[in-house]
Every structure is written in structure tokens, then in C-alpha cells.
Structure 1
């Protein structure tokens, strides 16, 4: 699968990048994609929610009315959840939402997501670049050259580059990750996936195992 390599000005360099059929052109597995996205979102949850139950409420322990003869239901504690100011019945408790997912399923999901984007022609291959200093203006110029100013974009680097990462951090619609940080949710959440040449080998190595 041949894709033109662009420079940071959005111009064709005349070179072609060869995208692996085993990574960018498979039959997408929707269930694997669903599971991987579900796991990613579950892992973002802190799970610190908590409501006070009747044992944790401050209040009198006196029986509030006699057992029989009132014509209403019996009641023994003002801290019961049926009364105003009482404890919460079956309220949320702190818990861990994360769950285990097989590595092969995660790998299949990421290949499926990349294949979906490739099928939508939403993948761009860009030549490797670097910034001498941290400047958001430099990164904005690249977005403008690629017509990505008002779109969600995901830039995938071959290796960590602090200047490029920090230059993009203030831009809400753009995200920069390395090939080892790539995940299904981020791929699908972006309107355009921009792969730097140096990231292709790492992506294919990680997903072809």
C-alpha cells in the first residue's frame, strides 16, 4: 500500500511510503475495537465516588415512634434512607473500573482502527521534522499547511521529541504521541492521523507480532 510522503509545507516530496497490508489493510474487527476503547475509557475513571450510608450518618439512635398502632410503616432509625437527611441506600462506593484485555485483542483492535482510517483516506505520511525551540506557532503552521486547523489530528512520532510535543500541547484539537503510545481510542477520535516516516517501522513492528 503506497502513500505519498509530504513535507511540513504540505507538498509532495516525490517519495512513497509503503504501508504494510497486515496493519493498514485488514478486515476490521469491530468487537475488538469496542473492547479496546471500552478498556481505555474505563482506565480513565478514578472510581473515587462515595456516598454516606446509614452507618456513616450522624444522628440519634432513638426509636422515632412506637412499633405498632400508628397506621404507618414501622421505623427504628432517623438515619434510614427513607427519611430526609438519612443515609443513601445502595449508593456508589469506591471501586476499580479497569479490566484485563488480551494483548492479541488489543493488537487486532489497533490494526483494525488503522485500517478503518486508511480506508477513509484519513492517514497522511509526513517526513520527519524537528523544532529548534518550543513554539506553538511552528506547529500551527504545519496544521495550516495540511489543512488540519479546524480538525482533530493525531501526530505519531517515531521517538519522543520534547520540542514538538510542547509546541502542540496548547492546541486543543491536536495531540502528539509516539508509536509506542498509539491506542485505538486516539486513532478513532482523530479526524486525521499523521504518521511521521520514523514512526512507520515502530508501528509495523509493534502490531505485526
Structure 2
């Protein structure tokens, strides 16, 4: 779930995948199939069948983990799921599943072959940014899925960079400009920057 190129859509997919894995592990545990999912506990018992108490502890832990994930990440309401599906790929949606005020734009969008090709080649974010002027109302809805931070990764990485720049020996340093440079993903064009500066003249 960590990383720069993360949004609510792919983080939700990762969470749902992990929930399903937990349920699969519980099913395997019920049948006594511990070898595939739990290599570490199996190695701890020297390739012997794990004890009943160990299996009970693992089962209890998995059920607690499933309950905690269900509490922390509850099931999404149908409207949110439809909006997420629309954001992922509008060409797989039906016009009757879209809100009435968006249906006109939706039909124009789904008949735009250029944007359909863009969904195959570009990232979701880039496609919707390019389509913003043509379909502003649908874009406003999809941006609600793409703009929010999906995790605290960017904040944590920025804080780590700040701690590196502003150490105890440089505690009065103004870090705003340095932090902006350190966190930027834009590669500077050194030639343009140098050409805009005047060389130092000798006195």
C-alpha cells in the first residue's frame, strides 16, 4: 500500500486481496493444509504435523485479523463502488448505472475511441486529466476517487527527508526550498537554467 503512484482504487484492491487471502488461509487451516500458507510454523515443528494448540492459536489469530480488517475497512456502499468502477474504466459501465445528470457526458465519453485507446496505454490519472475539458462533470466525480491521499506514505517520506536536511547542527536552517527540491520528481533542465544566468565578470 506504500508508494508514490497509489490511489484509493489500487489501495482498495490490495486490501480486498488481503482479506480474501485471510479467508483462504482459514479454509486451508480447517482442512489441515498448513504447508502451503504457513511455511514458518511448519518449519518450527521440524516437518511434523503441527500440534492442535498451535493450529487453534493460528485460527484464533486469523479470525481476529479478519474481524479487525472488516472493522477498519468496512464494505463500501454501492454508490461508491459504482463511482470506483466508472473511474477505473467507464467503457465497462452501463448508462443506466450512471447518475442522470452525468448520462449525456457519459454517452459522449464512451463513444470517444481516442479516450478508449488512452485507457489501454496511459495511467488512469493521466487519462482523466486529459479528458477534463471535454467531460468536466464526470471528471469532477472521478477526481473524488483519484485526488485523496490513499496513505500517509508521502507525508512520512517528506518528514524523513526533512530530518535529513535539518539536523541538530543545522536546526535554524529554513528548509522549505531545499525540501521542495528534495521531494520533487521533476528533472531540472540544467542547460536552460544556466543559460538564463549571467556569468561572473572579472573586475
TM value normalised by structure 2: 0.23
Larger strand share, 1 or 2: 1
TM value normalised by structure 1: 0.22
Instruction: State the structure with more CA Rg.
Output: 1
Larger helix share, 1 or 2: 2
